[in-house]
Chain A
Amino acid sequence: MTQGNDSPADGSPTINQPAIELSGITKTFPGVVANDDVSMTVAQGEIHAICGENGAGKSTLMKILYGMQSADEGTMRVFGDRVDFKSPTDAIDLGIGMVHQHFMLADQLTVLENVVLGAEPTKSGGRIDFEAAKAHLQEVSESYGLDVDPDDLVETLGVGERQRVEIIKVLYRGAKILILDEPTAVLVPQEVEELFRNMRELKADGATILFIDHKLEEVLEIADSITVLRHGKTVATLPNEGVTASDLAELMVGSELPSPEITESTVTDTVTLEVRNLTVGGGGDRPAVDDVSLKVHAGEIVGIAGVEGNGQSELVNAIVGTVSPSEGSVFLSGEDITRRNVRTRRESGIAYVPEDRHHEGLLLSAPLWENAALGHQTKPPYARGFFIDRAGAREHTETIRAGFDVRTPNIDVSAQTLSGGNQQKLILGRELTSNPKLLVAAHPTRGIDIGAQAAVWDEMRQARKDGLATLLISADLDELIGLSDTIVVMFRGGVVATLDPSDVTPRTLGAYMTGAAIESDDRTDDLKGTP
């Protein structure tokens, strides 16, 4: 595995050697060059950020570094030794640990089982020494202030806790180099601060941290140096001194940073969507949505803020019709649609961009034109009476492709071949060209690159101007504040605040989302109620 050439005799990392040195890394997948002659150096004990748009090759580079994929060309050195990883085990052995963007935890196993997996201390007969494992876990969690209960089932944990488990898992194996893949994507601002505090503690303890992020303010706050990738190439490695967010953005996309700002108000008096005292679930358990009332007017974007799992998904499902509420009603343009099924709701003008585009938004193995017809398959141009209108559907798909800049060789390729951003543009095009009254958009820009993000925002702004009512659910607080005319904060299934985006910051919003503002802030009562 290692072919030591200039390694020190005792095998310990030499002080002045860089922790990681990559040169000329190239990795090609059929039809795509993911990494093209990438070179970078990460010094020991620094926090090194890697920025780049989606598809710039960050994740592939990290997978190569962690031994999950092997590079076609180029060399890697870890603490000065040339290495050639065959599997993650090789990387783990050299003290490299990775926290993946999508957590690598098994929900039905306990925290302890998840942490020890692959590095189990055993007694004779292959029996796991759970006592020793627990002691070691607690030692790690105490020395870095990472608080978890080893006996909890992972499925009962929140996002922040899961991330702590991931970090503990890596430290448990004695990692000296930590790779964090978009660690802040799923966290609220308060949790991000907690994470950054942990990262600084780790750094003080001598760890080297490599992290991927495309929120530039965060990068500038925590990183010591920054490497920017674009189209699989290293554009620059800079120390974090005097660099601004727009400098980085320009390096990343070669243009200026898009912003989600909206201009003049287009809100009308016409109520398009009204949700009245809606409750979902309950019957013994705490209801997922608890007595929520809200109105969305034509030409208005109402943003819903909340930590994931506070009833937003259930609210969306109740509006779209995939779950039936236990109490309350939903009105579309004055008509009670509470008892209607999903298809009739869609036909009466609800457009829907689902939270998980792979599971709910697209049929990944079906061609684009079939995907374009999804949800609208009963209406022209996709259908003629009982039959699918193939020609009409294809023609309309071409319109979407042109109008929404869906980058694809043709409309017969399967949806899985598109990048996340292009998939999302296809979905948005499908929904907005169906002539809707209401758009329900759940996390419309999650996990897509800056270019596609700007395009999605443009389309939503344009639709708003044309009088579309939009309900926007997002975890990206800048997006919520920038796009919304009104922000509604959900906490434990209920609406805890209705705010004017012009006078909130991500920080104050975060305080409402975690429930912290509710006890401390008596303004909440005044702010309650429908806009």
Chain B
Amino acid sequence: MGWISSLPGWARWALYAAIGIFVLSLVQTLTGETTELTSVGTSQAMLRWGVPILLAGLGGLFSERAGVINIGLEGMMILGMWFGAWGAINYGGWVGLVVGVMGGVLGALIHAIATINFGVDHIISGVAINIIGPAGARYLSSEIFSGYDGGSITQSPRVPGVGKFDMPFLAGGDVFGWQSPDLLGTIGELEIFFLSDVANLTRGLMSQVAPSTMVAVALVPISWYVLWKTRFGLRLRICGEAPKQGEAQGINVYLYKYYGVLLSGALAGLGGAFIASPELGGIYLEGQVNNRGFIGLAALIFGNYRPAGILMGAMLFAYPFGLGLRDINETASHTLLLVTAVAMAAIALWATSKGRRLDMVVAAVMAGLCAAWYFLSDTVPDWWVNILPFVIVLLVLFFNAQRLRVPAADGEPYRRGE
């Protein structure tokens, strides 16, 4: 397996994704219960659900690479959602996204001042942001949205969006009014094993996509480029790895930590504004962020503090949610049980090859339980897909904890000249 770890990050993740899709299409074909596991609709829903998680994860990346733990992402997203909704209602969809970014930055500024200037414990400050965020949003709602037509203390009127877009040639998008061919759609309709499944899932990522979604996805390579190829990125990362060493080279550690935390808030705020946009909620509604900030942190850990991994983590966590939305008769969730069983069996085999006995036993037992549940039932309750992302997070932490490379000085208080 050594050759896998020698691949560049994006190629490794693409390989894992291909293996995942292969398992999905195999199980789907063999059981014949559903076609939703690899449908275009599921993939579209996954992307929409995944974007806020991705943005929160990237936000966490900038903050923690600069050495500041940010569990305040949730609160920053709530502020971003409120400001995003307010901005969009008053000035249109694009402005809404920008105002949402500023709302997130506002929350991040508090976190930055507390942790960087006053040396407050990062967790405590983050918890405080998570309390201030929703409370502030509710106060603002009672002051502002209550006065709007269709608004109240917990919700806003409808929020306008930024339109939708189909990729030309691959997903049949328009080119200056000319309808281009729909290549992936054609392959998808041929119903070839695996190939059509890949085509469907990929088409879902390219059809009926909001430009804001594309911006979010584009931020993945941009983040990588900024952090690993530029002077700014190197200096920001030294603050998370070895701030004293950075200081000795004349780098203003406080400044770069500020950049990291504020960028973190900006990305979380964008994620929040996205939740309020028609892509997901279409209104500001209290509680709609629904722990996506924390799931974003989980994606950050899943992705081992790297952008491509965060993207995969966000999509993996969003997949069960997306499937749940499409799953009218609950057969797809039921089939997903079997997929989970296969995945756990694969983990058990992997743990065996590494000689990790405890991991092997845990994975094998879980594989057995999932398989038994699948064969002894016809449907699963709807909470199953809703808890699945959290289960995945726990499993990742359980099986992968030793391989994680947390920035060495992440969470440590820093004082100049000590």
Chain B positions within 8 Å of A362 at CB level? none
Interface centre among B238, B241, B245, B417 (most CB of A within 10 A): B245
The reply to whether the CB of A113 lies closer than 8 angstroms to some CB of chain B is yes
Q: Give me the interface of A with B, judged by CB distance under 8 Å.
A: 68-69, 87-89, 92, 98, 100, 104-109, 113-114, 116-120, 122, 125-128, 169, 283-284
Nearest CB on B from A182, distance (A): 16
Cα A169 to Cα B230 in complex, Å, equals: 19
Interface centre among B242, B244, B246, B249 (most CB of A within 10 A): B249
The reply to whether the CB of B210 lies closer than 8 angstroms to some CB of chain A is no
Nearest CB on B from A218, distance (A): 24
Cα A89 to Cα B255 in complex, Å, equals: 15
B229 and A128 form a contact (CB under 8 A) = yes
Interface string of B221-251 (1 = CB under 8 A from A): 0000000011110110110011011111111
Minimum CB distance partner of A173 in chain B: B249
B250 and A108 form a contact (CB under 8 A) = no
Chain B interface mostly helix, strand, loop or mixed? helix
Given contacts A106-B238, A109-B237, A87 and B250 within 8 Å (CB-CB): yes
Nearest CB on B from A128, distance (A): 5
Cα A323 to Cα B234 in complex, Å, equals: 36
B250 and A107 form a contact (CB under 8 A) = no
B241 and A118 form a contact (CB under 8 A) = no
Minimum CB distance partner of B242 in chain A: A106
Closest 4 CB pairs of A and B: A118-B249, A89-B250, A106-B242, A106-B241
Cβ-neighbour of B417 out of A68, A108, A120, A283 (below 8 A): A68
Q: A117-B234, A117-B246 known; 15 other A-B pairs, CB under 8 Å?
A: A68-B417, A69-B417, A87-B250, A88-B247, A88-B249, A92-B249, A100-B248, A104-B248, A104-B249, A113-B234, A117-B235, A117-B249, A122-B230, A126-B230, A127-B231
15 contacts between A and B (CB under 8 A): A88-B249, A88-B250, A104-B244, A108-B408, A117-B238, A118-B249, A118-B250, A118-B251, A120-B231, A122-B231, A127-B230, A127-B231, A128-B231, A128-B234, A284-B355
Cα A88 to Cα B247 in complex, Å, equals: 8
Cβ-neighbour of B242 out of A69, A88, A104, A125 (below 8 A): A104
The reply to whether the CB of B403 lies closer than 8 angstroms to some CB of chain A is no
Chain A positions within 8 Å of B407 at CB level? 108
Chain B positions within 8 Å of A113 at CB level? 234
B355 and A109 form a contact (CB under 8 A) = no
Cα A293 to Cα B40 in complex, Å, equals: 66
Cα A194 to Cα B230 in complex, Å, equals: 35
B250 and A92 form a contact (CB under 8 A) = yes
Cα A120 to Cα B250 in complex, Å, equals: 12
B229 and A118 form a contact (CB under 8 A) = no
B231 and A126 form a contact (CB under 8 A) = yes
Nearest CB on A from B86, distance (A): 34
Cα A117 to Cα B232 in complex, Å, equals: 10
A117 and B408 form a contact (CB under 8 A) = no
Cα A109 to Cα B244 in complex, Å, equals: 14
Given contacts A89-B250, A98-B248, A119-B249, A105 and B242 within 8 Å (CB-CB): yes
B241 and A108 form a contact (CB under 8 A) = yes
Minimum CB distance partner of A68 in chain B: B417
A106 and B245 form a contact (CB under 8 A) = yes
Chain B positions within 8 Å of A87 at CB level? 250
Chain A positions within 8 Å of B242 at CB level? 104-107
Minimum CB distance partner of A108 in chain B: B241
Nearest CB on B from A364, distance (A): 13
**A-facing residues in B367-418 (Cβ within 8 Å):** 405, 407-408, 417
Minimum CB distance partner of B251 in chain A: A118
Cα A124 to Cα B189 in complex, Å, equals: 47
Chain B positions within 8 Å of A89 at CB level? 250
Nearest CB on B from A212, distance (A): 16
Cβ-neighbour of A125 out of B230, B241, B245, B247 (below 8 A): B230
Given contacts A68-B417, A118-B246, A107 and B355 within 8 Å (CB-CB): no
